[in-house]
Homo-oligomer: A and B are copies of this chain.
Amino acid sequence: MSGYLVDDATLDEIEVERATYAPLAEATRQLSDLSIRTRVSPDDAARAQEHLDAAIALLGKDVDTESYGVRHSRIGVTRAWGNAVVGIRNPIAPPLTIVHHDERVSAEFELSAAYEGPPSLVHGGVSALILDQLLGEAAAAAGKPGMTGTLTVRYRRATPLGALRGEAHVDRVDGIKTYAVGHMADAEGICVEAEGVFILPRWARKDSAAPTKFE
């Protein structure tokens, strides 16, 4: 189990990690989109496949046995770089850059073809995924980090692929439960609303390496 690692990474080492691996994730995001939309010939696809296999062989030479986890350096930098929504090393993540404004959080992002459910529309579950992260970060920003207990998502209207924004804030706190609310919107207004209850799990309450936020 990778756990909440505390490491001795220096700022230089963290920047080397970012410069070395984040561009691979960004290229893989482009490949995810092209894998869906390309119409090239079987010959060109086979040549591309050889390049992908070569990249897999190179990157597979030395691989961590664990998932990324959440890494806290002693100099105060938290890397949730494997996270499915915000992880800069995770090609599945758009990735969102979540901005903190006091106790409200927000993000502007693009969802491309890889996030599709019904034709031309964002998959309902992708909206839930993004809102879960936004609500969780709002809870953390209010000093109440936790894991999701319940998530309720209401789909007001179809969410088109393309430019979107999301925001969330804490509505109320009741003991170990933090209630966060938020929404996703396109240029025309709100598409999806969500409410989440976040609970600090027992193991995290006891863990001296517990993070200040869960990402």
- Asked if A153 is at the interface of the complex by the 8 Å CB criterion, the answer is yes
**Interface of chain A residues 146 through 165 with chain B (CB within 8 A):** 147-155, 158, 161
Question: Does A52 contact B38, Cβ atoms closer than 8 Å?
Answer: no
Query: CA separation between A25 and B32, bound complex, in Å?
Result: 7
- Asked if A40 is at the interface of the complex by the 8 Å CB criterion, the answer is yes
Question: Does B36 contact A62, Cβ atoms closer than 8 Å?
Answer: no
> Which of A97-105, A110-118, A170-178, A182-190 contacts its partner?
A110-118
Counting chain B CB atoms within 10 Å of each CB, the highest count among A34, A56, A66, A136 belongs to A34
Task: For the complex, count residues of A whose C-beta is within 8 A of B.
Answer: 92
A91 CB contact (under 8 Å) in B35, B44, B130, B149: B35
Query: CA separation between A82 and B38, bound complex, in Å?
Result: 12
Question: Does A24 contact B3, Cβ atoms closer than 8 Å?
Answer: no
- Asked if A89 is at the interface of the complex by the 8 Å CB criterion, the answer is yes
Query: CA separation between A5 and B117, bound complex, in Å?
Result: 14
Which residues on the B side are within 8 Å of A89 (C-beta)?
A: 35-36
Question: Does B158 contact A201, Cβ atoms closer than 8 Å?
Answer: yes
**Interface of chain A residues 95 through 141 with chain B (CB within 8 A):** 112-120, 123-126, 128-133, 136
**Interface of chain A residues 45 through 63 with chain B (CB within 8 A):** 45, 47-49, 51-56, 58-63
Question: Does B60 contact A34, Cβ atoms closer than 8 Å?
Answer: yes
Question: Does A4 contact B123, Cβ atoms closer than 8 Å?
Answer: no
Question: Does A124 contact B151, Cβ atoms closer than 8 Å?
Answer: yes
Which residues on the B side are within 8 Å of A37 (C-beta)?
A: 63-64, 66-68
